[in-house]
Structure 1
Amino acid sequence: MLKEKIRALAHEMLPTAIETRRHLHANPELSFMEHNTAAFIAGKLDAMGIPYQKMANTGLVAMIEGTLAASDKVLALRADIDALPIHEKNDVPYVSKFPGVMHACGHDVHTTSLLTTAGILLQLRDSFAGKLKLIFQPGEELVPGGASMMIKEGVLENPRPANILGQHVMPELEAGKIGFRSGTYMASVDEIYITVEGKGGHGAMPHTTIDPVLITSHLITGLQQLVSRNANPTTPSVLTFGRVIADGAHNVIPDKVTIDGTFRTLDENWRQEARKRIEKMATALVESMGGKCTVFIKPGYPVLYNNERLTAATRQHTEAYVGKENVTDLDIWMAAEDFAAYSQITDACFYRLGTGNAARGITSGLHTATFDVDESAIETGAGLMAWLAVKSLEN
């Protein structure tokens, strides 16, 4: 009967959950600036009587302990709370109040879901034994990421969780569906910043210059060899340069060009080698054409790995909650997630919550100005996480 109790509570709490989600959506805050968001979460936890402590400036970790029996089992549940620097274009009552800031990655849903899960578990404390750590993490969208900061401050200690679960919205999946992938799931990410210096001059007299624009064009093309000719074809790799600044004019060759990019892969050893190759190739190529080159590679998140045993068990419990027909397999995803930092330390499972609704036109992708969700998914997400928490501690 526990499953039905959780379903009933999730359904009963949905109206309040939608209010919470809409408040968060209308009041987004950028990474590591989530002061009002953290205060709002703290207020919700206070109202429920759930103890918590602050971490990483704007993060919180709360604790719920079951009363069924004495147990030293500990499970962590994680939600991220930050928004993105995107100007929202949705015409909805809960549109962002802050131009240029938007919950375009569903973190408002993640936070709402975990708060609702907390409310469900609080009413069912006599149905489980063990402790649940509820992690409300800041700064997922900005390297070095709030996960690593909270880990350094001891979020996975005293007590140490044996497992950690996290969920992320997926607009490509219809609301009510859940997606899983066991093993390597999401890519590492490193930020690349390169400056190519030459000698500027008149566009009509290129022979008197060392043209950094031309050099950079060769550099961008040449660096793609890292993927096409150096990476093992069986190892997914992505090298992308999305920002090129050559601040000259139609007839002015500038003194320097800057390019910003990202490198992603699913193999940590190749990741380390590729970073060395990028620096070596860039320096050599630019110098061979008469310029000077500086390369700065900012390490980002590691590969996200879903523990096979935990993922299999979590999937089995999910099928029991939402029905086997509503659980699907996921492909690898070359996006990055700082939940990966937790997966480097303890057994982790990061799964996807369907939030799309094609019939209602809710199909926009993550990180877009028109992203939105079918809010019925919050009932599924909160109830499922409560069910998974109880079953994980039980096992």
Structure 2
Amino acid sequence: MLALIPQIQRLAAQYAADTVAVRRHLHAHPELSFEETNTAAFVTEELKKLGLQPQAIANTGVVALIEGQPGGPTIALRADMDALPILEANDVPYKSTNPGVMHACGHDVHTASLLGAARILNELKGEFKGSIKLMFQPGEERLPGGASLMIKEGILENPAVSNVLGQHVFPHLPAGKIGVRAGRYMASTDELYLTVRGKGGHGAMPEMNLDPVLVAAHIIVAAQQIVSRRSSPKIPSVLSFGKVIANGATNVIPNEVYIEGTFRTLNEEWRDEAHQHLRRLCEGLADSMGAVCELEIRRGYPYLENEPQLTARVKAAAQEYLGPENVVELDQWMAAEDFAYFSQAAPACFYRLGTRHEDGRFASSVHTPTFDIDEQALATGPGLMAWLAIKELQG
């Protein structure tokens, strides 16, 4: 089995320039969530070149199957394809040609890597038993998340998937390294929308009004005790309010205040309980001050669980392929990912692909206008993903 590693590495190096070209094409032609029509068509044509039979799923998603020798399980590999509503600030030849839309989260890297892995796996399909399901997913960046739609349409069935692997760029690690973490890794995410209604009027006559700004301020401060005093210290939780609109003036108290925020945690039971606490607090505190608070909670992705035994195998296989010094342990991260839906439906492992240059270049965070990668990462991603899939199939 280990004898396959040099062969995979040779193929990854052989196809590296093509993988970079694919990534640059995708980066230059980004499309927003659930609008990935051209991206899906491009992926479909690339898969057909390999002799595969890709099919559409979840409207702008693509799925294809590489069948090895009969008698083995089916492993799923996932890449997301959508971009973000960000105006790119990079001055590079492959800069976005779609102003205001950018691959600022590395989904172009993920898609190019999976296409590269497909090329390697298709060439080596005589070397393994079982099948590899290639999942090119739309809409990771927008609720309800393309993963949930693909699951509803049966992507984990026919044939049934034994486990799911996914990778994501990580600018905190240099290219050539990956990061893994077993167990609870990423948080659930819920969007909070609050409207606090009172009675506006002249700022010089507060006694004639019912100030929703003051009520909103009390709610924002008091809500933090849900995390600090209602939650177990053993359960990571984050409650943040990032948008507050009180559209009055220096001498005008508005009629209402609009607030947006997010709640994240790593425990589904506490998540539900926190929603109840938050609703009671917002409505009750507003009522006690003579105002009204309407709270809408838009339930987002669940927390992401990396199945411990699978993750241990992924870590060991990655050490074989990259060397132990290039595989690091990750901390928990309170960002969210809709790969979590796959992790709730099947044994899954979501690992991070280093994309920073050793000299510090390409260190901009994801979701920023200057995000880019050291393309040496594309010499690592496809081959590693191919090796992990083959290793899992062989058991």
Q: Shorter-chain TM-score: which interval?
A: over 0.9
Query: Which residue of structure 1 lines up, in the alignment, with residue 60 of structure 2?
Result: 58
Distance 1:358 1:84 in 2: 27
Residue identity matched to 1:115: L
Residue identity matched to 1:387: W
Query: Which residue of structure 1 lines up, in the alignment, with residue 267 of structure 2?
Result: 267
Query: Which residue of structure 1 lines up, in the alignment, with residue 41 of structure 2?
Result: 39
Shift of 1:233: 1.1
Query: Which residue of structure 2 lines up, in the alignment, with residue 182 of structure 1?
Result: 182
Residue identity matched to 1:347: P
Shift of 1:245: 1.3
RMSD: 0.9
Per-residue CA deviations over 1:26-49 (Å, capped at 9, x if unaligned) read: 111111111111111111112222
Query: Which residue of structure 2 lines up, in the alignment, with residue 92 of structure 1?
Result: 92
Residue identity matched to 1:178: I
Secondary structure, in 3 states, of the residue corresponding to 1:359? coil
Distance 1:314 1:337 in 2: 19
Distance 1:358 1:104 in 2: 20
Scaled by the length of structure 1, what TM-score is found? 0.98
Secondary structure, in 3 states, of the residue corresponding to 2:111? helix
Query: Which residue of structure 2 lines up, in the alignment, with residue 7 of structure 1?
Result: 9
Distance 2:339 2:297 in 1: 21
Distance 1:56 1:251 in 2: 52
- Segment of structure 1 superposing worse, 189-198 or 94-103: 94-103
Are positions 1:112 and 2:116 aligned together? Answer: no
Shift of 1:72: 4.0
Residue identity matched to 1:224: Q
Distance 2:221 2:101 in 1: 34
How do 1:335-374 and structure 2 match up within 5 A? 335-359=335-359, 361-374=361-374
Query: Which residue of structure 2 lines up, in the alignment, with residue 27 of structure 1?
Result: 29
Distance 2:374 2:326 in 1: 16
Per-residue CA deviations over 1:168-200 (Å, capped at 9, x if unaligned) read: 110000100011100111111111111101111
Query: Which residue of structure 1 lines up, in the alignment, with residue 194 of structure 2?
Result: 194
Are positions 1:298 and 2:298 aligned together? Answer: yes
Per-residue CA deviations over 1:100-143 (Å, capped at 9, x if unaligned) read: 21111110000000000001111111111101100000111111
Distance 2:136 2:11 in 1: 22
Residue identity matched to 1:170: F
Secondary structure, in 3 states, of the residue corresponding to 2:129? coil
Residue identity matched to 2:5: K
How do 1:207-222 and structure 2 match up within 5 A? 207-222=207-222
Secondary structure, in 3 states, of the residue corresponding to 1:261? strand
- Segment of structure 1 superposing worse, 219-228 or 206-215: 206-215
Residue identity matched to 1:372: D
Instruction: Give aligned-pair identity as a percent.
Output: 58
Distance 1:229 1:243 in 2: 24
Secondary structure, in 3 states, of the residue corresponding to 1:364? coil
How do 1:145-294 and structure 2 match up within 5 A? 145-294=145-294
Residue identity matched to 1:66: G
Distance 2:251 2:111 in 1: 52
Distance 2:360 2:263 in 1: 36
Secondary structure, in 3 states, of the residue corresponding to 2:166? strand
Distance 1:265 1:107 in 2: 24
Secondary structure, in 3 states, of the residue corresponding to 1:54? strand
Structure 2 segments unaligned to the other structure (5+ residues): none
Residue identity matched to 1:49: G
Distance 1:160 1:352 in 2: 25
Shift of 1:362: 1.2
Residue identity matched to 2:300: G
Aligned residues: 393
Shift of 1:250: 2.3
Shift of 1:237: 0.5
Distance 2:303 2:315 in 1: 21
Per-residue CA deviations over 1:193-250 (Å, capped at 9, x if unaligned) read: 1110111111222221111111111110010111111111121100001111112222
Shift of 1:89: 0.8
Per-residue CA deviations over 1:343-366 (Å, capped at 9, x if unaligned) read: 111100111110111415211111
Residue identity matched to 1:155: I
Shift of 1:389: 0.8
Residue identity matched to 1:89: A
Shift of 1:97: 1.3
Q: Is the 8 A contact 2:72 2:393 kept in 1?
A: no
Distance 2:207 2:21 in 1: 65
Q: Is the 8 A contact 2:175 2:358 kept in 1?
A: no
Distance 2:53 2:88 in 1: 35
Distance 1:40 1:201 in 2: 57
Residue identity matched to 2:393: L
